[in-house]
Amino acid sequence: MNIDVASYQPPADQTAWLGTDPIPAKAYYDPDYYELERQAIFMRTWLTIGHVCELLEPGSFIRRDLEFAKASILIVRGKDGVIRGFHNACTHRGTQLEGRGEGKANAFICPYHRWNFGLDGALRSAPDFERFYTTKENCALKPVSVDVCGGMIFVNLDPEPAQSLHEFLGEYIVERLETIPAAKATDFCEYTYEIDANWKLTYDNFQESYHLKFIHPRTGAASYTPENPFGYPENYGFHGVHRSQQFWPNYNPDVTTPVQQTVFPMLAGYATEKGLMPDPTNREYYAVFPGFFIFGSPTQHFSHVVYPISATRSRGVIRLYWVGDWETASDRFAREYCLAIAREVHVEDVNVIKAGQRGLNSGALEHIHFQALEGLCRHLYLVSNGIVEAYKAEQEAAGEAQ
C-alpha cells in the first residue's frame, strides 16, 4: 500500500465520530481544570502501578508514591497469596511505615511508636494499647482497591469503585492484556522521568505518529517502509474510554550497525524460544485510560505510564518486559540495549514536549488543533473532559441537595 503523505487519512469511519472542533488550550495548563481532573479522574479511576513479577513470594511488597493524591501506597502479597493495597500511613498518627521502594516483610512496623500491622493490614499489637479509646479493628491500615489483569497490578483510590477493574477495562482490552507477552513476564527493566509538561500533553506525544519522521528520523528509521515512509498507523480502535492502534509491520528492517546485526537476531530467537507470539512483527498498541499504554513486538515489549504531578508537570515510567531470566552476558546486553534504544528515542521527544508546554503556559493560544492522525489525542481529551463535566454536574447536584 503506497501512501500519499500529503493526503493520507485513516479510514473515515474510524475517526469522523470524534468531530473536528478545536480543543480548549486551558485543559493543558490551567490549575483549576487540573484540579477537576485530579478529583474526577485520578482519585476515582483504576491506575496501573506495577506487575505481579514484583510480588513473587508472600511478604513481598512494593511502595508507590502518587504525587497527585499526596499518597504513598503499599502493595503486598499476603501469606495467603492475595495481593492487597494499603495507604503507607500508620493509623496512630500518620507516620509512614515503609521508606523502601520494595522489599519483603513479615509485618509493617511503625518506626515512631512500634505499632505492628500484619500483611492483611490488621493492627496486631501496639504498646499500651489498652490506654487508647478505640479498638484494634478500628485501627487497621486504610485499604486501597487492588486488582490484576494480564499480570499488571491496578489500584483505585476510591474505597468503593463504581466499576470493577474488568468492567472498567472492557472485554476487548482484558482479552488483549491477558495474551500479550507482558502477561507472562518474570522480569523487566525500567527508567522513570519527570517532565515540565501536563500529563495529557506528555502522553499525547506517544500516541500519535504525526511527529515521527521529524523528531525520530534516525532512531525510528527501522519502522519506516517504502509503502509507509512516515510510519503512520494502519488503523485505530476505540473501546469505551480506551484506544488501540495497529502499526504497519516492517518485515525487512534496515539493520545497519554491527550491534543491531548481533542483537536483533538474538532477540528474535528469544521470542521464538519463549513462544510469545506467532508473528513477531505484530505491533498493536493498547492505550488504557487515563495514562497507560503498552505495545511492541515480543523482542521489545514495553509499557509507558504517565502520572500527573501538577497542571504543568508529570512523571513517567517506561518498562521493558521479559520472560525468563537472562542466562548469558549476551542475553543481558541485548536487554540493556533495548532499554538504551527506548531511552534514546525518548530523549529526542523531551525537548519538544517541554517546548509545547512553555508555549501553552503563555496563554497566547485559546485552542489547539488535532488532525485525523491525532485521533487518539482528541479521544483522550474528549473522554477526560466528559468525565470532568459529569463530575461538575455531580458536585452541583450534591450542593443543591444540601
Q: How is the chain split into domains, by residue range?
A: 11-29+180-402, 45-170
DSSP 233-265: EEEEEEETTEEEEEEPP-SS----SHHHHHHHH
Task: Check residue 337 and give its pLDDT.
Answer: 77
Percentage of the chain modeled with pLDDT above 70: 84
Phi/psi-derived region of residue 148, left when phi > 0, alpha when psi is between -120 and 50, beta in every other case: beta
Most confident listed range (133-147, 170-184, 364-378): 133-147
pLDDT, tens digit (0-9, with 9 covering 90-100), for 13-22: 688 889 999 9
Domain boundaries 11-29+180-402, corresponding CATH code = 3.90.380.10
pTM above 0.95, yes or no: no
Angstrom distance (rounded) from CA 315 to CA 81: 31
Phi/psi-derived region of residue 252, left when phi > 0, alpha when psi is between -120 and 50, beta in every other case: beta
Angstrom distance (rounded) from CA 313 to CA 305: 14
- Fold held by 45-170: Rieske Iron-sulfur Protein (2.102.10)
Asked whether 310 and 207 are in contact (CB, 8 A), the reply is: no
Grid cell 515540565 in the structure block, residue:
196
Task: Check residue 215 and give its pLDDT.
Answer: 78
Task: Check residue 5 and give its pLDDT.
Answer: 46
pLDDT, tens digit (0-9, with 9 covering 90-100), for 72-102: 999 999 999 999 999 999 999 999 999 999 9
Task: Check residue 315 and give its pLDDT.
Answer: 97
Task: Check residue 3 and give its pLDDT.
Answer: 45
Task: Check residue 254 and give its pLDDT.
Answer: 60
Task: Check residue 196 and give its pLDDT.
Answer: 98
Mean of pLDDT over the chain: 87
According to DSSP, residue 39 is labeled: I
Task: Check residue 77 and give its pLDDT.
Answer: 97
Single out the residue of 49, 24, 75, 32 nearest to residue 306, CA to CA.
49
More confident residue, 186 or 258: 186
325 Cβ contact partners less than 8 Å away, ≥ 6 residues apart: 186, 187
Residues for the chain: how many in total? 402
Which of 40-44, 182-186, 349-353, 388-392 bottoms out in mean pLDDT, i.e. has the lowest? 182-186
**Is the pLDDT at 352 greater than 90, yes or no?**
yes
